[in-house]
């Protein structure tokens, strides 16, 4: 999608719009051709591009690490096998340092979260016009669509549906292990009998609703903070790339300057991409550790 074919505002809106499939107001199902149509589809609309890239990158992760596992041997590893073993050791060290209970699920889950989110974030380093332009070309020449109505976001972590989906999955695990390890009574006690306590049963009873409000807010903040932190950082990074891309249509001088800015921001963004995957993984480990221990 060329920035010359659209105004700056329309160019930005086009790159921030997901490829959406859902139910139209007239009852038919299909793809949205504008942001207004996507909004009318409501909650049950599907962001096809987010689903496509997140699933594809998840399959890529499984294939790569399965291939590395099959090639692993007792000798000195080389190539991607060495890289995969380094990542596994890094995750194992992180889990051992933050998770004090015993659960064989935590380490594989942490590895999956870190690599999967890293791969999704890594899509942000692909120039913002390449894949959307390819999608617009295919839509126009194969399906006869207006390329301005072909939307294709390639960074799943810039979609709050993806980040909230992962955060809620972690949250459900936290609830599951909190109840499994502590029981219904123990989990309820954590929500109602702290942080304010009193030996007098009447005063303690008065503290219960206050404790519940405080602890419930703390509990609910876990998935919200997980999802919004990842989404906010990646969305901001994507927005900066889009704004820099606008400079390429403002003449040779601005194009060269934009190219230097894009290179500098891409190098710096590598740190953000890795850091956000690491933070999501680390908080997942910490939350699961808290779920395995009573206060």
- What amino acid positions are annotated as catalytic residues? 225, 229, 233
Which residues lie across from 20 on neighbouring strands?
47
Tokens 């996507």, located at residue:
38
Local structure of 28: helix, strand or coil: coil
Q: Residue 130: CB partners within 8 Å, gap ≥ 6? A: none
Nearest to 149 by CA among 172, 129, 132, 166: 132
Residues in the chain: 295
User: How many of the other CB atoms lie within 10 Å of CB of 13?
Assistant: 14
Structure tokens given for 121: 């974030």
Q: Are 234 and 276 in contact (CB under 8 A)?
A: yes
Report the half-sphere exposure of 295 (CA within 13 A, side-chain side).
13
Report the distance separating Cα 164 and Cα 194, nearest Å: 28
How many CB atoms are closer than 10 A to CB 158? 27
List, in order, residues 6 or more apart from 279 with CB less than 8 Å away: 229, 230
107, with CB counted inside 10 A (0-12, 13-18, 19+), is middle
Look up residue 33 and give its two tokens.
């051709």
For the beta carbon of residue 112, count every other beta carbon within 10 angstroms. 16
Structure tokens at 57: 């990158």
Which helix (H) or strand (E) segment holds residue 144: the answer is none
């Amino acid at each position: 999608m060329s920035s010359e074919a659209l105004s700056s505002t329309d160019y930005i809106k086009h790159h921030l719009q997901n490829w959406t499939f859902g139910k139209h107001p007239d009852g038919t199902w299909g793809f949205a051709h504008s942001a207004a149509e996507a909004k009318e589809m409501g909650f049950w609309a599907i962001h096809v591009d987010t689903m496509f890239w997140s699933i594809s990158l998840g399959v890529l992760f499984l294939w790569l690490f399965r291939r590395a596992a099959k090639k692993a041997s007792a000798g000195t590893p080389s190539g991607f096998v060495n890289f995969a073993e380094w990542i596994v050791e890094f995750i194992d060290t992180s889990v051992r340092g933050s998770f004090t209970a015993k659960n064989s699920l935590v380490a594989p889950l942490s590895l999956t979260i870190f690599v999967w989110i890293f791969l999704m974030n890594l899509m942000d380093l692909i120039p913002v016009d390449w894949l959307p332009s390819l999608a617009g070309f295919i839509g126009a020449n194969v399906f006869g669509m207006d390329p301005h109505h072909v939307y294709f976001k390639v960074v799943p972590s810039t979609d709050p549906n993806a980040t909230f989906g992962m955060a809620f999955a972690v949250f459900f695990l936290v609830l599951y292990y909190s109840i499994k390890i502590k029981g219904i009574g123990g989990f309820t006690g954590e929500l109602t009998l702290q942080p304010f306590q009193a030996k007098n049963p009447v005063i303690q009873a008065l503290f219960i609703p206050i404790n519940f409000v405080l602890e419930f807010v703390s509990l609910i903040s876990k998935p919200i903070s997980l999802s919004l932190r990842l989404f906010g950082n990646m969305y901001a990074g994507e927005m900066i790339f889009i704004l820099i891309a606008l400079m390429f249509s403002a003449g040779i001088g601005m194009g060269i300057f934009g190219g230097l800015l894009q290179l500098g921001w891409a190098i710096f963004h590598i740190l953000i991409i890795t850091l956000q995957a690491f933070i999501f993984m680390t908080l997942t480990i910490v939350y699961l550790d808290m779920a395995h221990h009573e206060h």
